[in-house]
């Protein structure tokens, strides 16, 4: 005897089939494997680096030492990892300031240091902060072993420099995006921080032993992906207007630029001071 499926069951069967397909995608991680960030086509922020590197463990462990032996950064690629930052600690980049004036500043790179261990900084960034005066983040962080830690998507606004102004060849640049806070460079800045050596943790000493060769190599590699001219690379100390920031301390500008300029496509307009 043939059993005929009633028409009223057809929608239910289709719905169950769709639910089954979605369940397979979720459990196999297909829906969870989307890129960390989506590129904004036509936006200057689409130029910024994404965690694309795929190296074996052997390549990761030997890459830096090989570059050191051969004295070339041409094929250098650092280890990397991606860490999610709590959404309260970063925001959107604005197309207008609070007065309604369109803003189209070219990107600047602001260099920092962590003033603490990587784990402490990440823990702070992953903690929700409702108080706007406490919220903070970088786009990337470079550990002492040269590992690049991606923290905030490049098209988002990291909270790296609160009260700040960039003094460039076009004059003073800053944008007020919050009526309750001082203007800052955050809307057009890409923030990179170097992990501070242990003796430099949480003190105001003007110097420390400095950063590792691996950190300079990874910093040069990272910035070489951005195609930002030297004249728009600056430090937290230089853009700060609070009078409290002195980072990155003991930063060797010459060593950094020597590494950066090994990449032939770098635009070397002006040197940072």
Instruction: Please give the domain boundaries of the chain with CATH numbers for all domains.
Output: 1-34 (no CATH), 39-260 (3.40.80.10)
62 phi and psi, to 5 degrees? Answer: -100, -10
pLDDT tens-digit readout, 12-36: 445 555 455 444 333 333 222 222 2
Tell me what pLDDT residue 77 has: 87
Q: What is the DSSP letter of 179?
A: T
Lowest mean pLDDT among 188-192, 212-216, 269-273: 269-273
pLDDT tens-digit readout, 250-267: 999 999 999 999 887 664
- Helix, strand or coil, per DSSP, at residue 216: helix
Residue 110: name the closest of 178, 172, 184, 193 by CA: 193
Q: Is 216 left (phi over 0), alpha (psi -120 to 50) or beta?
A: alpha
C-beta separation of 164 from 239 below 8 A: yes
Cβ of 204: how many Cβ atoms within 10 Å?
Answer: 8
C-beta separation of 110 from 192 below 8 A: yes
Average predicted confidence (pLDDT) for the chain: 79
**Rounded CA separation 77/73 (Å):** 8
Q: Is this structure's pTM higher than 0.85?
A: no
Average pLDDT over residues 40-46: 40
Cα dist. 195→28, 120, 248 in Å? 36, 11, 10
**Rounded CA separation 103/110 (Å):** 19
3-state DSSP helix/strand/coil percent for the chain, to nearest 5? 30, 15, 55
**Rounded CA separation 193/245 (Å):** 13
Torsion 198-203-209-212 (CA) sign: positive
Tell me what pLDDT residue 73 has: 52
């Amino acid at each position: 005897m043939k059993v005929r499926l009633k028409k009223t069951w057809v929608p239910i069967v289709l719905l169950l089939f769709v639910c089954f397909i979605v369940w397979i995608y979720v459990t196999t991680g297909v829906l969870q494997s989307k890129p960390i960030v989506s590129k904004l086509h036509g936006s200057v922020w689409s130029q910024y680096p994404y965690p694309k590197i795929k190296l074996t463990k052997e390549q990761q462990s030997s890459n830096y030492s090989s570059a050191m032996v051969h004295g070339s950064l041409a094929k250098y690629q650092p280890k990397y990892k991606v860490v999610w930052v709590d959404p309260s600690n970063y925001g959107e980049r604005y197309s207008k300031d609070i007065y309604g004036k369109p803003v189209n500043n070219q990107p600047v790179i602001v260099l920092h240091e962590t003033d603490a261990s990587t784990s402490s900084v990440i823990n702070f960034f992953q903690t929700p902060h409702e108080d706007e005066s406490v919220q903070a983040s970088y786009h990337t962080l470079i550990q002492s072993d040269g590992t690049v830690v991606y923290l905030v998507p490049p098209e988002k606004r990291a909270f790296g420099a609160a009260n700040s102004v960039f003094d460039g060849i076009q004059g003073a640049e800053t944008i007020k995006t919050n009526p309750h806070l001082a203007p800052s460079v955050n809307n057009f800045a890409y923030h990179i921080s170097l992990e501070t050596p242990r003796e430099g943790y949480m003190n105001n000493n003007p110097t420390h032993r400095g950063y590792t060769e691996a950190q300079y190599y990874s910093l040069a590699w990272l910035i070489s992906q951005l195609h930002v001219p030297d004249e728009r690379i600056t430090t937290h100390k230089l853009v700060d207007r609070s009078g409290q920031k002195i980072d990155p301390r003991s930063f060797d500008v010459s060593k950094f630029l020597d590494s950066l300029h090994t990449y032939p496509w770098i635009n070397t307009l002006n040197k940072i001071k």
